[in-house]
Structure 1
């Protein structure tokens, strides 16, 4: 296989600013004449795609480490999946079937990562992705968790500006061997993309163009500091613009890597998305896919952590594949393309794709094992510290219910951390479900029921600071309504609530009416719209993140400790080896209808 790569070191090195905005960052290191003498008119191309790894180098714990599939008896079953040691082995096996292969990703490779990667600002994950042979990736919203400068460091290398170099040898972090693409992320001042908007790869006579984007709504789900000075443009408008550019350059085989996704009608990873002639997929990606330029041959997506391979018609009514491979390295997507050497285009009628489970019954890849072993050794003094004891498994990310036991635990921890008069005098706390990144497994090598610092960090990796503020009762009612209206109308986002706060949701109603009037109570007393209350949330929610603008209306704000510190303190105060913390009941929100 001939796959030509180069390290991306600054796509703006072009003759003029105008040219920079159009043709910078193209990876075209092979001469156009290299495809002369091709033995046949067509060749088979393979794309191997992943998305939303989130630094999960080791197999994800708890329910987050399972994939739902149909068992031998025809019933759904949970299959353990994930871990880059197994992913690397299976990618190599897949590549062995076709020497004309590229490995691509649709964003959120880093950010919200377990301790093994997060403790070192995701340098271990970039190192692992280099070892996996990743060729190109779009940025995702979590690539911006630590801001533009840190993302550029992930691409270009260099040791952390505050913490320095992590390797005992003092070796400098080398950055990504693959290229990050950010076509729709521009500098507010210059209007230019902050990274390469497109990448062109040459594979044994075939030229393939990639357009990489994150969702336009990234500022709504990332802290304001993380996206400071940036503007996120419309996905369809951006992709169609760069499709025209690629066509001008003679590139007709085009794939979009998009960090935005959909919600399939089944949670079985390999269900038939187009069964019965109807589309079993909803969500933002559907309208985006329908409006992307018909010259685009396939769309690799992510963000929703779902698995699907769907055919969605393009503007000309032609079928086009849209794929997503779940999250945390539990699946990879194999996309098979037929490339016409004469037209330099993909034969769309022959495009096929399938998701494959990253099963743990194969040999571990030694390169990935070496990466994990080295970084685990550096992390061990912090990671293995025991911070609490639990009486049973506590579901968080893996919970299928709107209110999770982990959500209750975190909200209670945040309330307790901010309840004292000098800490904020909080009366209740809200926690966003997207900030809960994992579960607490009961069984583990450190002993059943033991919670380590690494496990706590994996659940709460953002270390957002806690903000306690004054909100009117009406604002609290507005917050609850915003769970099912506005930005969250299509897909309700249920905040997790602290003890003593209760209310009822009537699913038979529509909009804000779903929140049953008079059911919202604090310690048994109805919330009074005219009164004021002290409410504790993390700094992301305090800024109105996740579609909760009412939380940004607070006054008399007091910034306290981090959400992780709150969780650690709560575990330390309420659990011991002889009296482990009971599993929360998750019974504060009542659902009817």
Structure 2
């Protein structure tokens, strides 16, 4: 487990505390509030006003996207006054830095916080260097605090501790002449415990203070992190209930005198609209947000004044009633640095609490029309220079875009085909491959980065698609087990939110969405190379190591026999593209017609 973090280096004058506390009240203070709370100003002997606006800037799920993300991953949808929508290109830390710095102007009381998954599943420029470039960028952005997300555990708690505390990578060493210094901001992991000691592996909470204004932060990740991270990544850890943990540390903060509290929760929901500026609290909007975060927000103690959330990569600014029946702000800023949230928390110096009824919040687009931050341009150029010899190497050629969207996606099928081909090299008896949709992080784009069409697939582009360094594993299953695996896509842990595995060529079946639960898999329709599945026969199945460990709720995949572990999944994809494409004969996107969907 990581050692206790060393004191954080700070470049700003804000005084930081390692602990403090609070009881938060909803507050019937609206009538007493001025139209705009004035800034604290001790000059000239004036007493500070009772109310102080504190700016909270937040974002989530950056995933190491330092450069502007491509395709749909780099766009947001904006609702227009006439009810139509338009898309806006967004994201890139050069632009995020400019937007955040401009947003802070005129706000002497400003905090920047994040909702987890700052690293992990990152593009090559960050992932190749174990996300040190992203931590460096976040330091420059002025991030004050973040919760951990599930992807912070992709490489285990020890590596997360290194990102917090610094030091060279234990196997790759130092990438530059200077030793990696770690994060200037604290990662909070209140509900992530060392199973041996029962104590959080990192700080559970942190307090920001400027003069007499104090705001406490509690950070948690989703309790189901072991279900979405490889078994090796969460080895030796336990993940506690989000609500119970937040409520526990809210009491701790209260006892220490901190009454203004924000929870950073790496769990999220689904908004009723895909437009980032949809008003989910408008009359007639119905359930503006649904999903796990609603239950959390409804049960977290009223002592907490606002929830900054993430994980679902959605955009929303909603109020959800707390257990006392008072509305409380719940926000999420999409993902990949495309949005940031600007929330005003009005602090009452008499009570030390937030005047809850005055909290205002909005999401803003990280447009690419502003000037680039020069320090971020320098950072990106420096790390790209180091990555170029690896990243620019061509590994294959495509005839058109290979998208990653849809219940069954062309990119998912292409990966499954690559793993089947690799599996057959390891063992000619391999019958099929299955790929988890969450592991397909992007599609392949025909146009080169500069915009011209070329169809070249570089190693860097492949890394963006499959950044997890999972291995390709072979296991034996009975035909009966294989049917259970397909049924687990739409039942059990995946009943409410189906996870449809991407099948390799030769595996076909019907998914009937008019039915419920396991019945949505039409068993009589399952065919492998045209033949019905024999329940008693043995089938050799290729998956990645995450699925082979039972990840994403596929418990049956964790019970296979005759295991054989191969190379990493990106190498298998690159090998397949190299063997099956050339400039004169590029590979075409799979038709994504292996699953027949009935709606």
TM category (shorter chain) comes to over 0.9
Among 439, 443, 446, the alignment partner of 1:439 is 443
**CA shift digits 1:154-205 (9 cap, x unpaired):** 00000111111101xx210000001100000111011111110000001343
User: Does 1:482 find its partner at 2:474?
Assistant: no
**Counterparts of 1:373 and 1:497 in 2: how far apart (Å)?**
38
1:92 maps to which residue?
101
**CA shift digits 1:545-584 (9 cap, x unpaired):** 0000010111111111111011001110111111111121
1:210 maps to which residue?
217
Following TM superposition, by how much is the alpha carbon of 1:541 offset from its aligned partner in structure 2, in angstroms? 0.2
Among 540, 549, 573, the alignment partner of 2:546 is 540
Q: Which residues in structure 2 correspond to 1:125-274 (within 5 Å)? A: 125-167=134-176, 170-274=177-281
- Secondary structure at the residue paired with 1:427? strand
Q: Which residues in structure 2 correspond to 1:23-102 (within 5 Å)? A: 26=18, 38-71=47-80, 74-102=83-111
Among 554, 565, 572, the alignment partner of 1:566 is 572
The CA RMSD measured in Å over matched residues stands at 1.8
Following TM superposition, by how much is the alpha carbon of 1:430 offset from its aligned partner in structure 2, in angstroms? 0.5
- Secondary structure at the residue paired with 2:274? coil
Among 524, 528, 543, the alignment partner of 2:530 is 524
- Secondary structure at the residue paired with 2:485? helix
Following TM superposition, by how much is the alpha carbon of 1:280 offset from its aligned partner in structure 2, in angstroms? 2.0
Query: Which moves more between the two structures, 127-136 or 430-439?
Result: 430-439
TM-score (norm 2): 0.92
**Counterparts of 2:302 and 2:273 in 1: how far apart (Å)?**
28
Following TM superposition, by how much is the alpha carbon of 1:328 offset from its aligned partner in structure 2, in angstroms? 0.5
**Counterparts of 2:47 and 2:432 in 1: how far apart (Å)?**
68
Query: Which moves more between the two structures, 177-186 or 434-443?
Result: 434-443
- Does the 8 A contact of 2:6 with 2:165 survive in 1? no
- Does the 8 A contact of 2:191 with 2:220 survive in 1? yes
**Counterparts of 1:351 and 1:122 in 2: how far apart (Å)?**
34
Give unmatched runs, 5+ long, in structure 2: 8-15, 21-39
1:115 maps to which residue?
124
**CA shift digits 1:243-282 (9 cap, x unpaired):** 0000000100000000001111211111121232632211
**Counterparts of 2:431 and 2:523 in 1: how far apart (Å)?**
21
**Counterparts of 1:536 and 1:577 in 2: how far apart (Å)?**
29
**Counterparts of 2:557 and 2:485 in 1: how far apart (Å)?**
7
**Counterparts of 1:227 and 1:153 in 2: how far apart (Å)?**
16
- Secondary structure at the residue paired with 1:199? strand
Report how many residues are paired: 565
1:409 maps to which residue?
414
**Counterparts of 1:264 and 1:145 in 2: how far apart (Å)?**
27
Among 370, 379, 404, the alignment partner of 1:371 is 379
Distance 1:413 1:336, change over 3 A: same
- Does the 8 A contact of 2:511 with 2:520 survive in 1? yes
Among 419, 425, 429, the alignment partner of 2:429 is 425
2:34 maps to which residue?
none
- Secondary structure at the residue paired with 1:519? strand
- Does the 8 A contact of 2:19 with 2:253 survive in 1? no
Among 7, 10, 23, the alignment partner of 2:4 is 10
Among 336, 345, 352, the alignment partner of 2:360 is 352
**Counterparts of 2:550 and 2:61 in 1: how far apart (Å)?**
24
- Does the 8 A contact of 1:424 with 1:534 survive in 2? no
**Counterparts of 1:72 and 1:582 in 2: how far apart (Å)?**
41
1:383 maps to which residue?
391
User: Does 1:553 find its partner at 2:564?
Assistant: no
Following TM superposition, by how much is the alpha carbon of 1:72 offset from its aligned partner in structure 2, in angstroms? 7.4
Query: Which moves more between the two structures, 521-530 or 403-412?
Result: 521-530
Following TM superposition, by how much is the alpha carbon of 1:475 offset from its aligned partner in structure 2, in angstroms? 1.0
TM-score (norm 1): 0.93
Distance 1:259 1:198, change over 3 A: same
Query: Which moves more between the two structures, 577-586 or 310-319?
Result: 577-586
**Counterparts of 1:249 and 1:203 in 2: how far apart (Å)?**
16
- Does the 8 A contact of 2:5 with 2:165 survive in 1? no
- Does the 8 A contact of 2:89 with 2:367 survive in 1? yes
Q: Which residues in structure 2 correspond to 1:449-468 (within 5 Å)? A: 449-468=455-474
Among 297, 312, 333, the alignment partner of 1:304 is 312
Distance 1:442 1:142, change over 3 A: same
Distance 1:533 1:375, change over 3 A: same
Query: Which moves more between the two structures, 214-223 or 67-76?
Result: 67-76
Following TM superposition, by how much is the alpha carbon of 1:9 offset from its aligned partner in structure 2, in angstroms? 7.8
